[in-house]
Amino acid sequence: MAFGLSPRHALELPLEEFTPEAFLVMATEAAEMLGWNIGPQSPSGFVAYTRFSFSSYSEEVKVEIQGNRVLLKSTCTGNQLTDWGKNKRNLNDLISTFGSLKNSYSEEDIERKYRVLQESFPSDEAAHLPASPLTTKDKLTDFLSIFRPVEGYFVTPIIIILNLAVFVGMVSTGVHFMIPESEDLVKWGANFRPVTMEGEWWRLLTCCFLHIGVLHLLMNLYALLHIGLLVEPYLGKTRFLAAYLLSGITASLTSLYWHEFTVSAGASGAIFGMYGVFLAMLTTNLIEKAARKTMLTSISIFVGYNLLNGLKGGIDNAAHIGGLISGLVIGYAFFPSLIKPKALNLKYATVGMLMVLVTCTSFVVFSRIPRDMGQYTEKMNKFQSLESMALEVYQLPEGTPKEELLSELKNRGIYYWNENLKVLAEIDSLDLPSELTLRNAKLKTYCQLRIKSYALLCKAVEEDTQAYESQIGAYDEQIEDLIADLSGKERE
C-alpha cells in the first residue's frame, strides 16, 4: 500500500535476453490485453492509463527503457492519499501478462509490430519518453521540495508559503488554531458582507489566504499542491498566478452575493478555479488524448464529490461554484495563447482582458447586492452606544443624591432605552435575514424590560421604599435570560 501525493509504486527490471524493440512490442501488447489506454509512445517506452473502475482509480503506468534495464512505475492520477495496493497490482499484472507473451512472437512478428509502433513515435524520434501531466510531481523529492520554487512549479509553492505564513501569524496573535472565532477571521480580512460592502473590497482577495482552523488549511493546501503540479507547467507563472487570483476574487464575489451574514474564508474558491481551468484544458487538445480522457474522469469525480459534500452545512459552496465556473471561463480564454506559446502579446492581452472582465463583473454584482446589512451594522453600532449611556446609571457611586439619581434614571436611562426602541423600529424596515429579524424582536423585548425596571427604580427612589425589589428582581432575571439568549450562552 502506497501513501503520499499521488501514491505510486516502481520497479526496475533487467532486459535480460530481450532487445529494447522486442520488450517494447510485448509490453505494449500486454498493456492492450489488460485493457489499458495507450498514451505517449517513443523508442524508449510508453505511458498507459488503466480504466476507471471500482478496482482502479485510472492510474498512469509508465514503461521506460534505460540502457539494459526497464523502469516500471504506476502512479495515481487523483487526489487520494493511499492507493490500497492498486499501483503494485498494476505492475504485477503487467509483468504477469508480459510473461505469458514471451514465446508468442517470432523475430519477424516483432519487427512487423515494431514498425507499426514507430508510426506513433514523435517525428524527431526522441530518445526520451514524452512528458505526461504527472511528470512535474517527480520534482517533489522530499518534504521541503514542496516549498521550493523550481521551473514548472514556481508560483504554487509561493502561494502555499503565503497561506502558511498568514495562518502562523493568526495563531501567534492568539487566534485559535482549530476553531477560530468569527470576529478574529473578520479582523484578519475574511469576506463578510456587512463590512466588505462598506468599502473594504480588499477582503475579496485577503479571504483567499485565510483559513478556519488547521484542518481547513491542510486540506486546501493538499488540493492546491495537487492541482498546481498538474496545471502550472502548462500555464506558466503569469497565467497561473492570474488564474488563481481572478478565480479567487470571483469565488469571493459569488459568496458575497449569495450569503447575507456568513463569514467566508479559505483558498478553496481559488483552488476550485484552478480545477475549472484544468477541466477546460482537458476538453481541448492541449493534453495527449489518453491522458486527457483519464484525467478528465478523475478530476470530474473529485470536483463532483466536493461540490456534493459542500451541500452540508458549514461549507461555502457558493464560493466553490463561483470559482469553478470562473476557472472554466479562464481556461478557455487561455486556449488561444497556449497553442501559440511564442505570441506573448496574446498572452498578456488575454490576462488583461480577464482582469477587466472580473472588475466589470464586480461592479455589476456590487450594484445588485442589497446594502441593508451595512445599514444594519451602523444602526447596531448606534444601539450599542445608546445602551452604554443608558447603563451608566449603574456606575453612580453609593450615596448619590436622590435628585441626581432620579435625573439619571429618567433623563438618561429611560430616555436612551426609548431612543433604542426607535433604532430597532428603523431596523425593522430593512431587508434582513430571518435570524436578524428574530434577534431584533428580542432586543425590543430587552429594551422594554429595561424601561420597566428603570420605572420601578424611579418609584422606589421617589417613595424611598424597598417594596418593589421583588418586581425589579423579576425583571432583572428576564433581562439576564435574554442577554444569555442573544449571546448564545447559557446563564451560569
255 is catalytic: no
- How are beta strands 60-66 and 56-57 bridged, if at all? unpaired
For residue 447 the three cell numbers come to 429594551
Q: Where are the alpha helices (DSSP H) in 34-154?
A: 86-100, 107-118
Q: Please give the torsion angle defined by the CA atoms of residues 16, 86, 278 and 43, in that order, rounded to the nearest 10 degrees.
A: 10
Would residue 70 be called left, alpha or beta, if left means φ above 0 and alpha means ψ between -120 and 50 degrees? beta
For residue 467 the three cell numbers come to 417594596
Our separate counts of H helices and E strands in the chain read 17, 7
Question: Which is the catalytic residue, given 44, 268, 337, 453?
Answer: 268
CB 248 within 8 A of CB 313: no
Neighbour-count burial for 84-117, b at 16+ CB within 10 Å, e otherwise: eebbbbbbebbeebbeeeeeebeeeebeebbeeb
CA atoms within 13 A on the CB side of 34: 30
DSSP state of 316: -
Question: Which is the catalytic residue, given 211, 216, 226, 320?
Answer: 320
Taking the C-alpha atoms of residue 217 and residue 164, their distance in angstroms, rounded to an integer, is: 8
Those residues whose C-beta lies under 8 Å from the C-beta of residue 319, and which sit 6 or more positions away, are 251, 252, 254, 255, 264, 266, 268, 269, 272
CB 491 within 8 A of CB 480: yes
106 is catalytic: no
Classified as helix, coil or strand, 71 is strand
CA 356 to chain centre: 24
CB 302 within 8 A of CB 296: no
Taking the C-alpha atoms of residue 129 and residue 408, their distance in angstroms, rounded to an integer, is: 87
Those residues whose C-beta lies under 8 Å from the C-beta of residue 190, and which sit 6 or more positions away, are 182, 203, 206, 207, 210, 263, 264, 265
Catalytic residues: 268, 320
